[in-house]
Amino acid sequence: MTITEAHTRSLELADPALLEKIDKLFGCNVGEYVSLPQLVVVGDQSCGKSSVLEGLTKLNFPRDSGLCTRFATHIIFRRDGNLVLREISASIIPASDATPEEDQKLRAWKASGLQSLSAEDFSRTMKEFTLILVCKVHDVMNLSSCDGDQKPTFSNSVLQLEIRGPNESHLSVIDVPGIFKNTTSDRTTKNDITLVRNMVLRYMQNQRSIMLAVVPANVDIATQEIIEMASEIDPEGGRTLRILTKPDLVDKGAEHKVIQLIHDGNANGQLGWILVRNLGQKQLQAGNVDRDAEERMFYQHAPWNRVPPENYGISALTARLQELLTSNVRREFPSVRSEVIKRLKDSKNLLQSLGVQRETAEQQRRVLLDIVSAFQEITQHALATNYGANDVFDEDKDLRLATLVSLRNGVFSNNLAQLGHTYTFRSKPERTGDTDGSVDDREERRNNPADTEKQQDIMQSRKTWDTTQNTSVADLEDILHASELVGPSFKSGILPWIEEIYSNSRGFEIGTFNHTLLSTLMKKQSVKWPILARGYISDIISVVHAFVRKALEVVSKSRQISTNIMSLLMDDLVEKYKQAISTVEFLLQIEREGTPLTLNHYFNDNLEKCRQKLMYSTAAKKSFDDCKHGEVVRLSDLAHQHHMSNVEHTVRDIHDILGSYYKVARKRFLDNVCMQAADHYLVTGPEAPMKLFSPSWVNDLSDERLEEIVGEGRPLKRRRRQLQKEIEDLEAGKAVLMK
């Protein structure tokens, strides 16, 4: 098969529609996210890459501008029968890490409608391109000029040249900067060496790329770095086409080694070698030499005429590249389409996971108001025990606010009834199971160690509500009451205790006692109320604080945002907590240090029952059953039932009054603490802590505060912009694929 026949066959193999779609995908920057089938020209600096491209394009690239060595160049050839002359257009594909401003500037620059009638015309046009690039592209890409400034020398953006004409082949190649090992003064640095090498590797590592590794034939090919890199990446050589240049510079007598290398490459199943002879420096300066004619004449002479026709010349290279590109595109196109769609879906999910955009003050306020609405909703469900409305109540028990408060109320009530009094009151006859702390005469006369131990166990159970063990309140340590142990009540000895206090404070009363004595006894009898009440209100505060914190974390879907909100709410929350604590202290002062007072008729009911107790217990000893009227007592027996001294009578009277009042006061204190201090100030009241976080609170925030609370940090902004750009590029790519 002749070269002409091979070229004709390659044109038949070409699939213009598919090739154009792939090139449009490159233009949409899809290649940054999905590997696209491509031909990539790689090599060392001065290996002859530019001359190979000139042979392929029939264009003279300016060698003094650095145009094709500062960034990758994507050259697209398209056959267009509607054109008489070839037209050239140029555009820039910004790098994926370009800022929105840079991206916009680079994409805005375009040059089109440029016709090339001769090499001289194109050289002049390319010089104009170069001038524009130096003035605009270098500035926008932040690339250095030739005056040795401190800007970077290389860019990851891509210059795209599209060449259309009536006789063009459907082909596209990407030329990347040549790798180098030595720096140039005021131009390149060691960092540039690494940057360019990584750029070249990125293109080579694309599993859908065909590498065109260009090496000069007049050097030891085994030592060429680009060949080593290609062998490491593609050890089987299935996607590496090696191009030999500068055969005219091979030492006399060494030609057979080059020819043997070409023959061996054809035999081992790899893509092999193609030999290309470009114009020399003098011929380039002459400017009127036919490159293809010179190449054909060179291969007609020995020993180069021994090279197989399909392995030499720019025509053979063009046909081979077109065949490789077409087959590669056909093979990879279905998987490319699938990957683009999948990557687009994944990118959208990632962007959605970042939450609503929060860059402007308006966006931030809207986001914060949505969080407020969700917070209020979860608070309503928590207070109404509507736990089935949201799965978070099953995931985190700290959010079951009403239940936790109710349980703690019960513990407080039980602790106050069982442990709140210093001495246990004497029991009432014929009543068992009373929870007011009463004992009968026999219990008062003995001290049961087992019962004392049991009471100690009850007291220890309060540690399940220890604020330091159950809730995260490290930021409230300054205001919460430290956990304290509450000792058991004395089961006996209340009468001697009252008698001692009475004896040490009596005046000239006869059969009565000073009214201040009741205040003294009440204060001593309720000495454990402060510990129990302060522990209770501290636990309720801890429960509420934990709820606010956890609920904010749930509705914010961002620990950083919830932390910022809590930080800003903290001062107001502490004030609410202090109000509740202050109310407890006020109630303690009223009950323990104020004048004993009650209008509750239950006090008189209790007192009357206590006064009837002695008569009943004494009369019961004289009672008998007359079988007709049941248990009866003689009136004469009632007249002699009381045999107590004045002191004993007064002490017993004080006991009964204190016991009756204590019971009323305890229940009153319990209700007041739970309703006023806890429920009103902390749970359901109009100024409860949960109501601080409201729409009015959000609307009062300044723009600076909004940015501080819900503003996106730089990493998140950068990640969001990357994903938005990626989605935009992939959407454009998807539109290309679906046409």
Q: Which segments within 325-441 are labelled E, that is strand? A: 425-426, 438-439
Pairwise CA distance, residues 671 & 665, whole Å: 10
pLDDT digits (tens, 9 = 90+) for 679-718: 999 999 998 999 999 999 999 999 999 988 888 888 888 8
Residues 306-360 have pLDDT tens digits of 998 899 999 899 888 888 888 888 889 999 999 999 999 999 999 988 888 888 8
Average pLDDT, the chain: 80
In contact, 330 and 18? CB cutoff 8 Å: yes
- Kindly state the DSSP code that residue 133 receives in the 8-state scheme: I
What share of the chain in percent tops pLDDT 70?
A: 78
Q: What is the pLDDT of residue 679?
A: 95
Closest CA to 592 of 459, 423, 418, 420: 420
Asked if 30 contacts 730 with a C-beta cutoff of 8 angstroms, the reply is yes
Residue with tokens 């620990």: 559
Strand partners, 88: 114, 163
How far apart, in whole angstroms, are the C-alpha atoms of residue 36 and residue 336? 7
State the DSSP code for 378: H
Q: What is the pLDDT of residue 224?
A: 85
Class of residue 30 by CB neighbours under 10 A (exposed 0-12, middle 13-18, buried 19+): buried
Quick one: which of 597, 576, 579, 577 has its CA closest to 669?
597
> What mean pLDDT is predicted for residues 469-488?
75
| Burial (CB count within 10 angstroms: exposed 0-12, middle 13-18, buried 19+), residue 336 | buried
Lowest average pLDDT, out of 381-390, 498-507, 644-653, goes to 644-653
Tell which residue, 586, 585, 575, 574, has the closest CA to residue 477: 574
Cα 445-451-453 angle, rounded to 5 deg: 130
Distance CA 40, CA 74 (A): 9
Contacts of 602 (CB under 8 A, 6+ apart): 663, 664
Query: What is the amino acid identity at position 177?
Result: P
542 within 8 A of 535, measured Cβ to Cβ: no
Query: Between these two residues, 279 and 383, which has the higher pLDDT value?
Result: 383
Average pLDDT over residues 64-88: 72
One-letter amino acid at 347 equals: S
Amino acid 666: pLDDT: 93
Q: Is 287 left (phi over 0), alpha (psi -120 to 50) or beta?
A: left
Tell how far CA 288 is from the center of its chain: 64
pLDDT at 455 over 60: no
Rounded CA-CA distance 416/409 in Å is 11
Residue 356: its pLDDT value, please?
81
* C-beta of residue 364 within 8 angstroms of C-beta of residue 706: yes
Confidence at 115, pLDDT banded by 50, 70, 90: low
Q: Say what the pLDDT of residue 464 is.
A: 45
- HSE-CB at 422 with a 13 A cutoff on CA atoms is 15
Instruction: Tell me how far apart the alpha carbons of residues 171 and 327 are, in angstroms, rounded to a whole number.
Output: 12
Q: How many Å apart are CA 391 and CA 370, to the nearest integer?
A: 19
Does domain 3-346+731-738 match CATH 3.40.50.2000? no
What is the per-residue pLDDT for 694?
93
Please give the Cα distance from 277 to 343 (Å, whole number).
43
Contact (Cβ atoms closer than 8 angstroms) between residue 204 and residue 187: no
Average pLDDT rounded to a whole number, residues 27-35: 87
pLDDT at 170 over 50: yes
The token pair at 666 is 């305890």
Phi, psi of 72, rounded to the nearest 5 degrees: -70, 145
What is the structure's pLDDT at 133? 46
Name the residue among 445, 402, 652, 409 with its Cα closest to residue 544: 402
For 9, what's the count of Cα atoms within 13 Å in the CB-facing half-sphere? Answer: 14
Q: What are the residue boundaries of the structural domains of the chain, listed by start?
A: 3-346+731-738, 363-701
Q: CB neighbours (10 Å) of residue 537?
A: 27
709 three-class SS: helix
Q: Give the three-state DSSP class for 385.
A: coil
pLDDT (average), residues 724-728? 90
Question: What is the tens place of the pLDDT at every residue in 138-157?
Answer: 565 566 655 556 666 777 88
Structure tokens at 543: 């429960």
Q: Is the pLDDT higher at 665 or at 178?
A: 665
Q: Three-state SS for 113?
A: strand
Q: Which residues, 6 or more positions from 531, have their beta carbon under 8 angstroms from its beta carbon?
A: 484, 486
Give the C-alpha separation, 262 to 272, whole Å. 7
In this predicted structure, which of 176-185, 434-443, 729-738 has the lowest mean pLDDT? 434-443
Q: How do 273-275 and 240-245 pair as beta strands?
A: parallel
Distance CA 614, CA 617 (A): 5
Spatial distance between the Cα atoms of 244 and 215, rounded to a whole number of angstroms: 5
For residue 506, the model assigns a pLDDT of 80
How sure is the predictor about 488, in pLDDT bands with cuts at 50, 70 and 90?
A: confident
pLDDT in tens, 38-49: 889 998 877 888
Which one, of 91, 88, 46, 86, lies nearest residue 69 by Cα? Answer: 46
pLDDT on residue 7: 45
Between CA 149 and CA 634 the distance in angstroms is 124
- Tokens 């929870």: give the residue: 435
Give 322 or 565, the one with higher predicted confidence. 565
Higher pLDDT, 85 or 245: 245
Determine if the peptide bond prior to 303 is cis (ω within 30°). Answer: yes
State how far the Cα of 153 lies from the Cα of 193, in Å rounded to an integer.
11
Phi–psi pair at 574, nearest 5 degrees: -60, -40
Strand partners, 490: 423
Residue 171 scores a pLDDT above 80: no
pLDDT of residue 565: 94
Of 195, 173, 214, nearest to 71 by C-alpha is 195
Query: By CB neighbour count within 10 A (0-12 exposed, 13-18 middle, 19+ buried), where does 301 fall?
Result: exposed
